[in-house]
Amino acid sequence: MEQIKIGIVCYPTFGGSGVVATELGKALAQEGHQVHFITYSQPSRLDFLNENLFYHEVEFRSYPLFEYPPYELALASKIVNVALNEGLDLLHVHYAIPHASAAYMAKQILKTHGITLPVVTTLHGTDITLVGKDASYEPVVTFSINQSDGVTAVSEDLKRETLDYFNITNEIEVIPNFIDLEKFKKQKKDHFKRAICPEGEVLIVHTSNFRKVKRIPDVIQVFYNIRKVIPAKLLMIGDGPERVPAEQQCRELGICQDVRFLGKLEAVEEVLSVADLFLMPSEKESFGLAALEAMACEVPVISTNTGGIPELNVQGVTGFMSTIGDTDEMTRNALHILDKNNLPVFKQNALKRAKEFDITCILPQYELYYRQVIEKTSVKMHG
């Protein structure tokens, strides 16, 4: 297959959009495409060497006049620089704010050099459902989505929400998130399980960036309810503004000895390998990549039924979904899953469902989409 030179713009942090962008770039490079990451620091999962992978750091200097250095301008300049020097065929930006508008500006500058750079924008979630809807960003988000040459969303629900809320004149293609089943698979970590759960307790896990939207108090409440019925331990992975209040909640409930906050972890799959249940009581979740990672490691999921989660978690099969805040129902369903007669079936179902999102199924969808966008853009240019 002919090589495409792709620029990928993303957040380098632990958030889902950065993870998806990085894993996608790595997989594209392994397929023989040339991938140039453009962002402000090394993406956390860009952890291996490949002759087709490149990283370009956006430098944005401060100046006494700036309260906030203008990152978007520095990013647009870096995109122009990389496109000119590396001969990019396409730019793929993940998370609309501010990446789609920086891409638009870069594209206009490149036009003055006689270069057409097709831009694909992938909508991930809060760039639409929370931040994007804010009046202070909405006109720019609408404009930059409409000016992209291709737009993808990570779930049907996110596409619907985008079309309902914004005045979108562009087509939106749904390409779901994916998982690398070579990396995310159940590993033998019995010693770890014994260390965490010495009395054979069940192990419950939550991973997130600990923001309000994740409803961390519900995670603790469901765990507290479960623990009243069966011996259980909870591992909280990740970090963010809701961590300190969650630690306080554990102290107030007197459950600190059974809850561990592990902070940001690189090898989440090692912990998931020994987990019995994953909790995701989010208020909003356009897809729920963290739940997919759990399922790939054979962990069933208790979640809300919000956003794109119903496109992933199958009710009564891979786990259960409840309305936001219904921690009593979540507890009842969790105890049903954790029953020793039910758990093995839920685990196998979770893995089977995760296989439908294997990167080998989703990567060709992106490659095809890139080719269509490149083709369409060059017809527009010449036609």
- Phi first, then psi: give them for residue 21, nearest 5 degrees: -60, -45
By CB under 6 A, tell whether 121 contacts ligand GMT.
no
In the beta sheet, which residues pair with residue 55?
37
CA distances from 221 to 84, 244, 249, 266, 330 (A): 54, 15, 9, 26, 10
User: Per CB under 6 A, which region of 41-49, 50-58, 65-73, 118-126 contacts ligand GMT?
Assistant: 118-126
Q: Are strands 301-304 and 53-57 parallel, antiparallel or unpaired?
A: unpaired
- Name the minimum Å distance from CB 221 to ligand GMT: 20
- 126 conformational bin, left if phi > 0, alpha if psi -120 to 50, beta if neither: alpha
Q: Which of 34, 39, 52, 286 binds ligand GMT (CB under 6 A)?
A: 286
Task: Tell me the per-residue interface mask from 153 to 182 with ligand GMT, x by CB under 6 A, - otherwise.
Answer: -x----------------------x-----
Let me know how many helices (H) and strands (E) the chain has, helices first: 14, 13
Nearer to ligand GMT (CB atom), residue 110 or residue 312: 312
- Cβ–Cβ under 8 Å, residues 71 and 103: no
**Strands annotated E in the chain:** 5-9, 34-39, 53-57, 90-94, 119-123, 150-153, 173-174, 202-207, 232-237, 259-263, 277-280, 301-304, 319-322
Distance CA 123, CA 47 (A): 24
By CB under 6 A, tell whether 33 contacts ligand GMT.
no
By CB under 6 A, tell whether 43 contacts ligand GMT.
no
Q: Are strands 34-39 and 173-174 parallel, antiparallel or unpaired?
A: unpaired
User: Per CB under 6 A, which region of 122-130, 237-245, 338-346, 357-365 contacts ligand GMT?
Assistant: 122-130
User: Per CB under 6 A, which region of 227-235, 258-266, 283-291, 296-304 contacts ligand GMT?
Assistant: 283-291
User: Per CB under 6 A, which region of 63-71, 168-176, 232-240, 287-295 contacts ligand GMT?
Assistant: 287-295
Q: Which of 8, 9, 17, 351 binds ligand GMT (CB under 6 A)?
A: 17
Q: Which of 5, 284, 347, 353 binds ligand GMT (CB under 6 A)?
A: 284
- CB atoms under 10 Å from CB of 326, counted, come to 17
Q: Which of 125, 132, 281, 319 binds ligand GMT (CB under 6 A)?
A: 125
- Name the minimum Å distance from CB 69 to ligand GMT: 22
Q: Which residues bind ligand GMT (CB under 6 A)?
A: 15-18, 20, 95, 124-126, 129, 154, 177, 209, 213, 284-289, 307
